[in-house]
Amino acid sequence: MYLKGRPIILHAPTELSENYEITKVSTAPNRKLKLDWVYGHTDELWGLAPNPTLPQFVTGGYDKVLQLWDSMSHSILWSKDIGEQAQSVAFSADGSCILVGCTSGRWMIFDAQTRELLGQHVDGNEAIQVIQCSPDSTMVALGSRDNQIYVYQVSEDGSKYNRVGRCTGHSSYVTHVDWAMDGQTLRSNSGDYELLYCK
């Protein structure tokens, strides 16, 4: 069975499944069965980030879909086709923007409420593995599969991102990036377990 082009898997209660035959038509049970719809991704999920100010989280994956979830109701608030495979996601420190790193080296900024694309940039031609905003949201660091970290300064209104630096030194792809509380120092890990600091 399909719904809007996506396959649907129906689960039957255990007491019905033992006698179930795919070719046999049976009479309906005496009680109503409840169907719970679960929506999600249709390909590998790579990005997951919590909203720092609300009970929400965002997910992105290889199905090219970005989804904002409500943590309390376990439901999707909105879903958006972004046209690229997502490798990483992050929220700005105030939760107003969602940043998405793609497998192509492109990364995008979306308004968390309206889903509007606020901007996009390209850094290299390999996946943006990790995105991390500084605690005050004035800087963004993007760890790439090309072994580099790209650093951007964010305008006061959060609408413009200007590259101000690039950290090099890893001998393998960047897996994690973390800002110091003052936003002046980066700590990063790579695929070969190096721990580097960049100021």
Q: CATH number, domain at 59?
A: 2.130.10.10
What confidence score (pLDDT) does residue 131 get? 97
Q: Determine contact, residues 131/90, Cβ cutoff 8 Å.
A: yes
Q: Report how many domains make up the chain.
A: 1
pLDDT, the chain, mean: 87
Cα 53 from Cα 126, distance rounded (Å): 31
Give a yes or no: residue 133 inside a domain: yes
Torsion angle (degrees, nearest 10) of CA 40, 57, 113, 84: -50
Give a yes or no: residue 18 inside a domain: no
Cα 143 from Cα 152, distance rounded (Å): 12
Of 134, 153, 145, 150, which Cα lies nearest the Cα of 174? 145
Give a yes or no: residue 164 inside a domain: yes
Q: What is the pLDDT of residues 31-84, one digit of tens each?
A: 766 655 667 888 999 999 999 999 999 999 999 999 999 999 888 999 999 999
Give a yes or no: residue 116 inside a domain: yes
Give a yes or no: residue 17 inside a domain: no
Run of H or E residues at 70: strand 65-70
Residue 16 phi/psi, 5° resolution?
Answer: -95, -25
What confidence score (pLDDT) does residue 199 get? 86
Give a yes or no: residue 81 inside a domain: yes
What confidence score (pLDDT) does residue 157 get? 81
Q: What is the pLDDT of residues 73-116, one digit of tens each?
A: 888 999 999 999 999 999 999 999 999 999 999 999 999 999 99
Predicted confidence (pLDDT) at residue 3 exceeds the cutoff of 60? no
Give a yes or no: residue 5 inside a domain: no
Q: Residue 156: which pLDDT band, with cuts at 50, 70 and 90?
A: confident
Predicted confidence (pLDDT) at residue 27 exceeds the cutoff of 80? no
Give a yes or no: residue 129 inside a domain: yes
Tokens of 37: 């719809």
Q: Determine contact, residues 41/59, Cβ cutoff 8 Å.
A: yes
Instruction: Tell me the Ramachandran region of residue 5: left when phi exceeds 0, alpha when psi lies from -120 to 50, beta otherwise.
Output: left
DSSP per residue, 29-69: PSSPPPPPP----SS-EEEEEE-SSSSEEEEEETTSEEEEE
Q: Which domain holds residue 146?
A: 42-198
